[in-house]
């Protein structure tokens, strides 16, 4: 993607490289100490992510005017969030696994959980059970072995471990040529003694056989309640992370080849950075979209609004995150490829809606379907001319003149509009019996309507009016479809970015290094607990926090962070007794040493609960339940700083670069064209207009307006 020299040369060199490798494109953002940035873009290369990483980084380096050697030798941090591990899970190409579990639970994988078994099914498929099937098991029944043992919910040994059964199971798995042995026993999160002994016996048998087999235990991967989710977590850690770690090491090798001096970092699902050698790498499997929420929190502080809707539209999906009055929801059991996992994750809602969605029209019923398949980056939409044969939303955008055929990826890809027109007419508009442009805009309207309805559903669950929220729109296709996605909802403000295509990568660069450790608990605190009871609960909480602090700090020191630079914050997962959902509460103090300290914790929970839900929904009379205790350890890293500049004139003539015919709202318009990077604080653009960037396009509908603020953020206003 060759970018024109649109601004004065940047004096300083980049200090941070942020990479977001999505399903279609790999986006790079380079940031220097003063907040200057440039972005790069290239097609994602799933078979070897290092290729797409390097091509995208080279694109960004070209935009900065430096070589790859100058880039990598000068940066302090390389942050990479990719899709390698998720692709391994989706394609079922991971390790050959064996499982040892408590006797009687051998069918646990096949049974699964009802919620995960029906996850991702359409409404119609949920009505007709004949279409239903369970997710393909990661471990077949014949490689699952039960051993006699039992620990109860209090951690007491009910049945001692039958060690001879463990030895026999291990020998069978070794003979079956497994690559990893997973161990999950019931209530091991309370007392892991049996899991530890099973692991010892397995390693002894592996050593005797001279085999190369790794042993995983569930209490080390995720020591929390709910056996099925804990089992899924240890299985996916064993199954998918080997290939993902190999991809990440390939990224690191390429970086060091060009002069990078440190280790590559990746993004945790709960919003922090960690080394690619992180022992629980499955916690980074859905790292890409998480960067957008982190970036949104950063922008929210700049604009002074702590209630934000984050919307990320790329080629395949439309991801939505919510920050409500400064609170970001943590989901303890996210679904991943129809597996319920015990992995704390910043909550995202996702629908299949993106510019790469394949369009289908049934010749008999004339029914139009968007997706769920996506053209991806290979072969991509028809207009990319890489072998794609099925029409997509991107083809519609090209047909209607909304995309510049000679400026896509800065001119690196010349869009074949006529080829897209012929295919769309044959497979869609002629079958529907309507005009080409009308059909193409109708397809786009369907996509934007789906996204608009999804935003309304997300907002309706927050308990506050849309007028309190600012919508942040990003992703390569976000600005392109922003007008239709946001129309009529009544947001307080709508913002997009010059670096929208790389906003998730930008968000990664705003994160700190982090470790998060937690354990399940069951502390029920009566609403009128006396002093002694509150103090006793406080002592139990503090004991757990101290143990978690040591574990998290030790891991960070092992990664090279100085002890004096590590900060720790304990947290609790709490609910009113009898409720089904937890709220994450950052503890107001590091230790609970008295009844008054415990009351401060309970007061903090009620304050957070009132922010996330509503003040009138508090119900302290029911008592309080602590379901999980945790500890977050962080260490600072260099972050970008967006520059604030004085507002200038509103006339955007300096950024104007011509006129192009664009079909919007049922007819062709002469739309003014603007170069996005040349828009300055104070500029105002009135539609119909198209604001172009090598990596994205913002379509301004007739009579709508875009103004540029002092942070060079683009604010969209509907007529």
One DSSP character per residue, 58-74 reads HHHHHHHT--HHHHHHH
Residue 3 pLDDT class (50, 70, 90 cuts): very low
Whether 131 shows a pLDDT value over 70: the answer reads: no
Could you give the CA distance from residue 635 to residue 563 in angstroms, rounded to a whole number? 9
How far CA 633 is from CA of 230, 274, 514, 567, in Å, comes to 23, 11, 6, 6
- Sheet-wide strand order for 180-184: 144-147, 97-102, 180-184, 214-217
What pLDDT does 709 receive? Answer: 95
pLDDT band at 614 (very low <50, low <70, confident <90, very high): low
Instruction: Give every strand in the sheet of 25-31, ordered side by side.
Output: 37-43, 25-31, 16-21, 77-81, 265-267, 273-275, 513-525, 624-635, 567-576, 583-586
* φ/ψ (deg, to 5) at 24: -115, -50
3 state DSSP class of 274 = strand
472 near 311, Cβ under 8 Å? yes
Per the structure block, which two tokens stand in for 434?
């309507």
Q: How many C-beta atoms lie closer than 10 Å to residue 670's C-beta?
A: 9
Peptide bond into 697 cis (omega under 30): no
Q: Among 219, 159, 158, which residue's Cα sits nearest to residue 190? A: 219
- Residue 427 pLDDT exceeds 60: yes
Q: What percent of the chain has a predicted confidence (pLDDT) above 70? A: 92
Tokens of 267: 């993004």
Which of 452, 454, 444 minimizes the C-alpha distance to 394?
444
Joined together, the tokens standing for residue 95 give 């390790």
Confidence of residue 282 (pLDDT cuts 50, 70, 90): confident
Handedness of CA 364, 370, 373, 377 (dihedral sign): positive
The DSSP letter of residue 481 is G
Q: How many CB atoms lie within 10 A of CB 89?
A: 23
Q: What is the pTM of this model?
A: 0.77
Helix axes 163-175, 193-209, angle to 10 degrees: 40
Contact 149, 184 (CB under 8 A): no
CA atoms within 13 A on the CB side of 266: 29
DSSP secondary structure letters along 130-174: GG--PPPPSS-GGGEEEE--EE-TTS-EEE---HHHHHHHHHHHH
What distances in angstroms separate CA 94 from CA 80, 176, 247, 341, 646, one per listed residue? Answer: 21, 16, 13, 17, 53
- Predicted confidence at residue 347, as pLDDT, reads 79
pLDDT value at residue 115: 66
pLDDT of residue 567: 93
- Positive/negative CA dihedral, 590, 594, 600, 601: positive
The rounded mean pLDDT for the chain is 87
> How far is Cα 251 from Cα 56, in angstroms, rounded to an integer?
12
Whole-number Cα distances in Å, 385 to 26, 420, 423, 482? 19, 9, 12, 26
User: In whole angstroms, what is the distance from residue 398 CA to residue 692 CA?
Assistant: 13
3 state DSSP class of 477:
coil
Q: What is the DSSP annotation of 659-683?
A: EEEEEETTEEEEEEEEEGGG--TT-
Q: What is the dihedral of CA 17, 18, 21, 24, to 10 degrees?
A: -90
Query: Before 219, cis peptide (omega within 30)?
Result: no
Give the SS3 label for residue 373. Answer: strand
3-state secondary structure of 220: helix
Both structure tokens of 680: 């300055």
| Distance separating the N- and C-terminal Cα atoms of the chain | 34
Residues 289, 645, 713, CA angle at the centre, nearest 5°? 30
As a whole number of angstroms, the distance between CA 220 and CA 550 comes to: 15
Q: Token pair for residue 649? A: 């004139």
Minimum mean pLDDT among 156-170, 360-374, 386-400, 662-676: which range? 360-374
| Tens of pLDDT, residues 693-705 | 988 999 999 999 9
Q: Identify whether the C-beta of residue 236 lies closer than 8 Å to the C-beta of residue 285.
A: yes
Tell whether omega for the bond before 688 is within 30 degrees of 0, i.e. cis. Answer: yes
Q: What percent of the chain has pLDDT over 90?
A: 50
Collapsed DSSP state (helix, strand, coil) of residue 360: strand
Predicted confidence at residue 336, as pLDDT, reads: 65
Among residues 567, 573, 568, which one has the least CA distance to residue 604? Answer: 573
Q: Identify the DSSP state of 382.
A: G
Distance CA 89, CA 242 (A): 11
Q: Of 377, 342, 71, give the one whose Cα is nearest residue 220.
A: 342
For residue 7, name the pLDDT band (cuts at 50, 70, 90): very low
In 3D, which of 319, 225, 336 has the Cα closest to residue 282? 336
Asked if pLDDT for residue 66 goes beyond 50, the answer is yes
pLDDT of residue 706: 97
* pLDDT score, position 151: 94
Q: Where are the beta strands (DSSP E) in 173-303?
A: 180-184, 214-217, 265-267, 273-275
- Could you read off the pLDDT of 180-236 as tens digits, one per residue? 999 999 999 889 999 999 999 999 999 999 999 999 999 988 887 788 888 988 998
Q: What is the mean pLDDT of residues 274-286?
A: 82
Question: Based on the number of CB atoms within 10 Å of its own CB, is 153 exposed (0-12), middle (13-18) or buried (19 or more)?
Answer: exposed
Question: Does 616 have pLDDT greater than 70?
Answer: no
Q: What's the sign of the alpha-carbon dihedral 385, 60, 285, 291? A: negative
Q: What mean pLDDT comes out for the span 234-258?
A: 88
For 637-675, what is each residue's pLDDT tens digit? 777 778 889 999 999 999 999 999 999 999 999 999 999
Residue 108 confidence (pLDDT): 85
- The confidence band for 9, taking pLDDT boundaries of 50, 70 and 90, is very low
Looking at residues 427-436, what average pLDDT do you find? Answer: 94
pLDDT score, position 410: 80
User: Burial of 461 by CB count in 10 Å (0-12 exposed, 13-18 middle, 19+ buried)?
Assistant: exposed
What local confidence, expressed as pLDDT, does residue 678 receive?
94
Phi first, then psi: give them for residue 92, nearest 5 degrees.
55, 50
User: What phi and psi, each to the nearest 5 degrees, are found at residue 198?
Assistant: -60, -40
The span from the CA of 292 to the CA of 299, in Å, is 10
pLDDT at 244 > cutoff 90 = no
Report pLDDT for 288. 64
């Amino acid at each position: 993607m060759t970018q024109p020299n649109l601004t004065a040369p940047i004096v300083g060199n980049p200090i941070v490289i942020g990479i977001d490798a999505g399903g279609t494109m790999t986006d790079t953002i380079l940031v220097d100490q003063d907040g200057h940035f440039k972005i790069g873009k290239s097609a994602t290369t799933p078979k070897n992510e290092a290729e797409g990483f390097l091509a995208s980084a080279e694109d960004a380096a070209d935009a900065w005017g430096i070589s790859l050697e100058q880039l990598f030798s000068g940066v302090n941090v390389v942050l990479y969030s990719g899709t390698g591990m998720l692709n391994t899970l989706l394609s079922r190409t991971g390790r050959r696994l064996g499982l040892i579990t408590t006797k009687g639970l051998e069918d646990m994988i096949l049974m699964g959980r009802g919620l995960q078994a029906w996850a991702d099914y359409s409404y119609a498929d949920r009505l007709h059970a004949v279409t239903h099937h369970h997710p393909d098991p990661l471990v077949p029944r014949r490689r699952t072995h039960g051993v006699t043992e039992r620990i109860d919910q209090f951690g007491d040994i009910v049945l001692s471990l039958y060690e001879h059964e463990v030895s026999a199971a291990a020998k069978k798995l070794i003979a079956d040529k497994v690559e990893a042995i997973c161990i999950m026993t019931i209530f091991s999160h309370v007392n892991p003694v049996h899991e530890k002994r099973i692991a010892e016996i397995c390693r002894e048998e592996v050593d005797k056989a001279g085999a190369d087999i790794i042993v995983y235990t569930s209490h080390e991967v995720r020591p929390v309640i709910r056996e099925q989710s804990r089992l899924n977590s240890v299985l996916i850690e064993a199954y998918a992370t080997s290939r993902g770690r190999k991809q990440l090491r390939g990224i690191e090798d390429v970086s060091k080849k060009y002069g990078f001096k440190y280790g590559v970092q990746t993004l945790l699902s709960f919003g922090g950075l960690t080394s690619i050698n992180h022992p629980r790498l499955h916690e980074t499997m859905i790292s890409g979209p998480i960067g957008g929420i982190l970036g949104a929190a950063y922008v929210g502080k700049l604009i002074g609004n702590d209630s934000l809707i984050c919307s990320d539209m790329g080629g395949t999906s439309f991801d939505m995150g919510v920050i409500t009055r400064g609170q970001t929801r943590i989901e303890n059991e996210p679904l991943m490829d129809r597996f319920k996992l015990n992995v704390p994750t910043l909550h995202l809602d996702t629908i299949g809606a993106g510019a790469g969605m394949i369009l289908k029209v049934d010749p008999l019923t004339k029914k139009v379907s968007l997706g769920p398949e996506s053209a991806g980056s290979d072969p991509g939409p028809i207009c990319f001319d890489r072998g794609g044969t099925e029409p997509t939303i991107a083809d519609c955008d090209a047909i209607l003149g909304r995309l510049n055929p000679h400026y896509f990826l800065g001119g690196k890809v010349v869009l074949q509009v006529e080829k897209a027109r012929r295919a769309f007419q044959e497979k869609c508009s002629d079958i529907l019996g309507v005009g080409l442009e009308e059909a193409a805009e109708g397809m786009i309207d369907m996509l934007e309507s789906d996204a608009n309805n999804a935003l309304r559903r997300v907002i309706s669950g927050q308990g506050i009016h849309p007028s309190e929220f600012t919508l942040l729109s990003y992703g390569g296709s976000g600005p392109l479809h922003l007008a239709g996605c946001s129309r009529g909802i009544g947001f307080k403000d709508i913002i997009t970015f010059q670096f929208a295509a790389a906003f998730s990568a930008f968000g990664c660069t705003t994160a700190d290094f982090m470790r998060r450790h937690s354990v399940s608990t069951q502390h029920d605190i009566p609403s009128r607990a006396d002093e002694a009871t509150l103090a006793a609960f406080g002592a139990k909480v503090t004991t757990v926090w101290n143990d978690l602090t040591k574990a998290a700090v030790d891991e960070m020191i092992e990664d090279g962070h100085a002890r004096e630079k590590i900060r720790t914050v304990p947290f609790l997962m709490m609910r009113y007794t009898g409720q089904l959902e937890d709220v994450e509460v950052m503890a107001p103090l590091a230790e609970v040493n008295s009844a008054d300290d415990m009351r401060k914790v309970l007061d903090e929970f009620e304050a957070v609960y009132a922010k996330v839900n509503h003040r009138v929904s508090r119900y302290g009379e029911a008592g309080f339940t602590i379901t999980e205790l945790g500890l977050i350890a962080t260490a600072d890293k260099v972050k970008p700083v967006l520059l604030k500049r004085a507002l200038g004139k509103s006339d955007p003539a300096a950024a104007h670069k011509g006129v192009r015919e664009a079909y919007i709202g049922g007819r062709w318009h002469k739309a003014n064209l603007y170069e996005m990077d040349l828009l300055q604080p104070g500029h105002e653009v009135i539609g119909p207009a198209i604001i172009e960037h090598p990596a994205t396009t913002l379509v301004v509908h007739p009579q709508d307006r875009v103004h540029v603020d002092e942070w060079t953020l683009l604010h969209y206003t509907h007529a």
